[in-house]
Chains A and B, each alone.
Chain A
């Protein structure tokens, strides 16, 4: 929860000279939430426990990945000392169902469980320990069903169906030109199958929060990514009107898409409604968090690309199977993103894409940084390297020949302007060439050095005709401070600063005069989700529009005070002055006081709701599937130990066009963080399942990178004014991860001469690739 702080009157002397113009947009203003986070006083979800928890909840989970529930017996659980109640589906007042696009996920399962994270009951007790003891005593009887552990099993003839309509959740297609003919006429046709893995968000701040029902309002302190949408979903499931639910976002330590699905909110709601007046607390362990939460989709991507002898792409034929797990989550959107990003930033005249989402009894798969786009970049960039290799052309040459330029269309038929992907690639390679490439000559024979590159695009926002929008409110107080109100959630990415800086820039106020209230459904209006790299563009625009409206009021009032036309006034550093005669000036505090007495509201709100156009079903074509596109390019340099398969990233350069960096340091942070997360995906992170059970539900065996694994990331911020963005900005959140993975794989290919197609490239996979070792090879083959 972010509350604005009461401030003292500005102590700036009224006769002091006006400080020079200090543009907040483009300045690395210190993070407003930085000090609390660094000093440990920020209150995350789990920090609310010691202060406010009165009762504790724990959740009973399915013991089977696929089963029918035949009975739930709470008798023994209720006998545990301290246990006050055990609540099941029968205690849920509403639909008892949630889900981001389809409502298909039971909050508390009644008849059927489809994965091991399915919840069956909520136990409430006086202590957390009692709640957990009670949880373990709830007896659920099952009739087990065959477990669909893999996509192959799911689509096999006669497979057990997770849903009456079958195991194929849906499909998405792109149809453009005549692919078969173009492939037949190509000089070279290259095919490969890529397997991307299941990935966990592994955010630091494990799901934790509190719920309280006072008879009127259910108040939830739980971190999500879109508090207003979460409120709707919770309201439906619990059978409460939305206005009786208030969600306040605690300080949040990372999200990466992992907080988009409902987590603990409904359980807390069920418990709170049964214990009026008591604050209920619930927190997961890391293991529970990983066993329960949705994951990044594992994709099988079969790619065939054709090219002319000079490297010009002729056609692409791509079939994707996506492991959707037990419930739909954001799967439909991920499939769409995969289809629309299947050929990335490349000009391909003939394209055929078929994406199939397949249900299994694995964890539901949903949002994670760069969803759909990230997996497809691994495949299309992999194909660029393979084509370059097949044609004996340079990897940069093949890319540059085919990268779209301003005015070209992407695979959905959308014309993009401006396009800066070629520029990003040039910048990244230039930076790489700043240092002489050492090659492998000075290395021991078993160590090989390699370098690789990637070029990527990313459609920002939900797109596809979804009514994506953001609201914002800005208010001036008589002490000259301005407060921004937004429903957007700060999850670590820097939203608060970005919004304050945009409003401050518009109002000519110093950063110190800016306040913000965010992510509280009672105090703020809906600003959409902190996802899809959309907040800077969407909420940033709404904030700028509201601030702009306020600016008009300020100028009008200043005009009265200064006795000049408002167009002749400059707003700078908390002053309004006559542009031609700066001595004719007045402080913002005076303007506000004057305005209030004259009946000006000094408040403004705005709605930013640009139109995207739904893709044509069957062909996936749309003149504006996404509101704008982002571009980036990476270069990575690796060392590969060919004997053991160990890979070390030595250098990594990431160039991203962000339109305009509102806060360059935050942008750099996003780039470095994205590269780190991408490095993890490329080399080590992997959720492994055995019959629907996660075998590594903890950070002991779910391996994420440490500082020792990360080279100093060389971030290049490219700025091409986005005509639709606030001050030309568009965003940065997801592209750095998307670019990082294929660049590292490209470098491994260069070092080893073998093209990776399976993730992550951990030591064993890299060793198998280099030595061509298959699953059942004998000892004499492997050593």
Chain B
């Protein structure tokens, strides 16, 4: 069965009725790959790609709200630097035209570039169900364990929102220039109160934030010494593993290196009075 609702309400009704019997699909850039690898054998699909309302990006009460169906190509045009650069580092143009932020959040891969950028930007995710309506939750609470999330069996991802003024930076280390899976990636953001958030990909079972380093940095002017201390903390907070893409040693070191590099960029921009978002 291939269900293709055109409104979100219809989709929620189908989700209520079908639950996990139906595989939710939008661009298919994760689902189809998993099918090809024989990892899943869906008999029934709930295709949300025809729901126009999911493709909207709008400003609301100091936030930018992105529908779950916004593609990486669209996100690549946004003014949030970390999210924009992270989105443009996903796959190639064909994948970015199909892949969506909702899908990235649903898959919840520790290598999900979009999730890492959003985490650093204090994003919240909106989950919706027919029975209980909408609920917003911090994205950091949504990720529970490896590919395990707070999404209930009758819920769909509706939208994601970020405060609209954080300054942010992004860096991804991979093995090639495009269609590039992260070996490790890092996003940082800072708001006007100098609250700094850091997030990392591929360093644990879920996209990871580093609260101790954030606490150290909170409200402080960036200095080389402070940046060094934060980077050191980060290397102890992340928990990467050895796999065939890279070793834990390298990833751990890179988390520190990227922390240092991205915070230094912010510090230098401060000095220049550059208020780039």
B257 in complex: contacting residue of A644, A762, A777, A779, CB < 8 Å: A644
The answer to whether A646 and B244 have CB atoms under 8 Å apart is: no
The stretch among A98-106, A332-340, A351-359, A693-701 that forms the contact with chain B is A693-701
Interchain CA distance A644-B231 in the complex, whole Å:
15
Residues of B within 8 A of A446 (CB): 261
The answer to whether A783 and B181 have CB atoms under 8 Å apart is: no
Interchain CA distance A768-B231 in the complex, whole Å:
19
Q: Is A150 an interface residue (CB 8 A)?
A: no
Q: What distance in Å separates the Cβ of B240 from its nearest Cβ neighbour in chain A? A: 12
Residues of B within 8 A of A236 (CB): none
Interchain CA distance A709-B178 in the complex, whole Å:
8
Interchain CA distance A648-B33 in the complex, whole Å:
29
Residues of A within 8 A of B252 (CB): 779, 782-783
The answer to whether B175 and A684 have CB atoms under 8 Å apart is: yes
Interchain CA distance A446-B37 in the complex, whole Å:
40
Q: What distance in Å separates the Cβ of B92 from its nearest Cβ neighbour in chain A? A: 7
Interchain CA distance A768-B254 in the complex, whole Å:
12
Interchain CA distance A688-B245 in the complex, whole Å:
10
The answer to whether A709 and B249 have CB atoms under 8 Å apart is: no
Q: Is A48 an interface residue (CB 8 A)?
A: no
Q: Is B42 an interface residue (CB 8 A)?
A: no
Interchain CA distance A103-B261 in the complex, whole Å:
57
Q: Is B62 an interface residue (CB 8 A)?
A: no
The answer to whether B173 and A779 have CB atoms under 8 Å apart is: no
Chain A residue at smallest Cβ distance from B181: A700
- Given A695-B244, A767-B250, are A706 and B175 neighbors across the interface (CB < 8 Å)? no
Render A760-783 as a binary contact track against B, CB cut-off 8 A, 1 for contact: 001110011000010001010011
Chain B residue at smallest Cβ distance from A132: B38
Q: Is A708 an interface residue (CB 8 A)?
A: yes
Interface residues of A in 679-713 (CB under 8 A from B): 683-684, 688, 690, 695-696, 698, 700-701, 703-709
The answer to whether B183 and A764 have CB atoms under 8 Å apart is: yes
Number of A residues whose C-beta is below 8 Å from B? 32
The answer to whether B92 and A706 have CB atoms under 8 Å apart is: yes
Q: Is A152 an interface residue (CB 8 A)?
A: no
Render A526-560 as a binary contact track against B, CB cut-off 8 A, 1 for contact: 00000000000000000000000000000000000
Residues of A within 8 A of B258 (CB): 644
Interchain CA distance A675-B257 in the complex, whole Å:
32
Render B181-199 as a binary contact track against A, CB cut-off 8 A, 1 for contact: 1010000000000000000
Number of residue pairs A-B, CB distance < 8 angstroms: 75
The answer to whether B178 and A762 have CB atoms under 8 Å apart is: no
- Given A696-B244, A764-B183, A764-B247, are A644 and B178 neighbors across the interface (CB < 8 Å)? no
Q: Is B253 an interface residue (CB 8 A)?
A: yes
Q: Is B10 an interface residue (CB 8 A)?
A: no
Residues of A within 8 A of B257 (CB): 643-644, 783
A764 in complex: contacting residue of B179, B235, B250, CB < 8 Å: B250
Residues of A within 8 A of B29 (CB): none
Q: What distance in Å separates the Cβ of A376 from its nearest Cβ neighbour in chain B? A: 26
Interchain CA distance A703-B173 in the complex, whole Å:
14
Chain B residue at smallest Cβ distance from A703: B175
Render B24-53 as a binary contact track against A, CB cut-off 8 A, 1 for contact: 000000000100010000000000000000
Q: Is B207 an interface residue (CB 8 A)?
A: no
The answer to whether B244 and A708 have CB atoms under 8 Å apart is: no
Interchain CA distance A446-B264 in the complex, whole Å:
13
Q: Is B132 an interface residue (CB 8 A)?
A: no
Chain B residue at smallest Cβ distance from A708: B177
Interchain CA distance A695-B236 in the complex, whole Å:
29
Q: Is B166 an interface residue (CB 8 A)?
A: no
Residues of A within 8 A of B235 (CB): 779, 783
Residues of A within 8 A of B173 (CB): 644, 646, 763
Chain A residue at smallest Cβ distance from B171: A644
Interchain CA distance A777-B250 in the complex, whole Å:
10
Interface residues of B in 204-240 (CB under 8 A from A): 231-232, 235-236
B175 in complex: contacting residue of A688, A695, A763, CB < 8 Å: A763
Interchain CA distance A503-B246 in the complex, whole Å:
53
Q: What distance in Å separates the Cβ of A61 from its nearest Cβ neighbour in chain B? A: 15
Chain A residue at smallest Cβ distance from B259: A783
Q: What distance in Å separates the Cβ of B63 from its nearest Cβ neighbour in chain A? A: 33
Q: What distance in Å separates the Cβ of B203 from its nearest Cβ neighbour in chain A? A: 13
Q: What distance in Å separates the Cβ of B161 from its nearest Cβ neighbour in chain A? A: 31
Interchain CA distance A777-B247 in the complex, whole Å:
12
Interchain CA distance A446-B257 in the complex, whole Å:
11
- Given A643-B261, A700-B181, are A705 and B176 neighbors across the interface (CB < 8 Å)? yes
Q: Is B256 an interface residue (CB 8 A)?
A: yes
Residues of B within 8 A of A768 (CB): 250
The answer to whether B177 and A709 have CB atoms under 8 Å apart is: yes
The answer to whether A684 and B176 have CB atoms under 8 Å apart is: yes
The winner among A705, A764, A773 for most chain B CB atoms within 10 A is A764
Chain A residue at smallest Cβ distance from B256: A783
Residues of A within 8 A of B231 (CB): 783
The answer to whether A707 and B244 have CB atoms under 8 Å apart is: no
Residues of A within 8 A of B183 (CB): 763-764
The answer to whether A703 and B249 have CB atoms under 8 Å apart is: no
Residues of A within 8 A of B253 (CB): 767, 773, 779, 782-783
Chain B residue at smallest Cβ distance from A763: B173
Interchain CA distance A509-B187 in the complex, whole Å:
64
Residues of B within 8 A of A704 (CB): 176
- Given A779-B235, A782-B252, are A703 and B176 neighbors across the interface (CB < 8 Å)? yes
Residues of A within 8 A of B181 (CB): 700-701
Residues of A within 8 A of B246 (CB): 763-764
The answer to whether B178 and A706 have CB atoms under 8 Å apart is: yes
Interchain CA distance A777-B245 in the complex, whole Å:
19
B249 in complex: contacting residue of A698, A763, A777, CB < 8 Å: A777
Interchain CA distance A695-B246 in the complex, whole Å:
13
Render B132-164 as a binary contact track against A, CB cut-off 8 A, 1 for contact: 000000000000000000000000000000000
The winner among A446, A707, A762 for most chain B CB atoms within 10 A is A762
Chain A residue at smallest Cβ distance from B92: A706
Interface residues of A in 408-466 (CB under 8 A from B): 446
The winner among A683, A709, A763 for most chain B CB atoms within 10 A is A763
Residues of A within 8 A of B236 (CB): 779
The winner among B33, B177, B256 for most chain A CB atoms within 10 A is B177
Chain A residue at smallest Cβ distance from B254: A644
The answer to whether B176 and A708 have CB atoms under 8 Å apart is: yes
Interface residues of A in 695-741 (CB under 8 A from B): 695-696, 698, 700-701, 703-709
Chain B residue at smallest Cβ distance from A688: B244
Interchain CA distance A293-B236 in the complex, whole Å:
42
Interchain CA distance A278-B264 in the complex, whole Å:
69
Chain B residue at smallest Cβ distance from A700: B181
Interchain CA distance A705-B245 in the complex, whole Å:
16
Interchain CA distance A703-B179 in the complex, whole Å:
9
Interface residues of A in 260-315 (CB under 8 A from B): 287
Interchain CA distance A735-B92 in the complex, whole Å:
31
The answer to whether B176 and A706 have CB atoms under 8 Å apart is: yes
Residues of B within 8 A of A644 (CB): 173, 254, 257-258
The winner among A684, A688, A777, A779 for most chain B CB atoms within 10 A is A779
Residues of B within 8 A of A777 (CB): 249
Chain A residue at smallest Cβ distance from B246: A764
Chain B residue at smallest Cβ distance from A644: B173
Render A75-116 as a binary contact track against B, CB cut-off 8 A, 1 for contact: 000000000000000000000000000000000000000000
Q: Which 4 A-B pairs have the closest CB atoms?
A: A708-B177, A708-B178, A782-B253, A783-B256
**Given A287-B37, A646-B173, A690-B244, 10 other A-B residues pairs in contact with their CB atoms under 8 A:** A446-B261, A644-B257, A648-B177, A683-B176, A763-B183, A773-B249, A779-B253, A783-B231, A783-B256, A783-B257
20 contacts between A and B (CB under 8 A): A287-B37, A446-B261, A648-B177, A683-B175, A690-B244, A695-B244, A698-B37, A700-B33, A700-B181, A701-B244, A703-B176, A706-B178, A706-B179, A708-B177, A763-B174, A763-B250, A779-B252, A782-B252, A782-B253, A783-B232
B residues at A contact (CB < 8 Å): 33, 37, 92, 173-179, 181, 183, 231-232, 235-236, 244-247, 249-250, 252-254, 256-258, 261
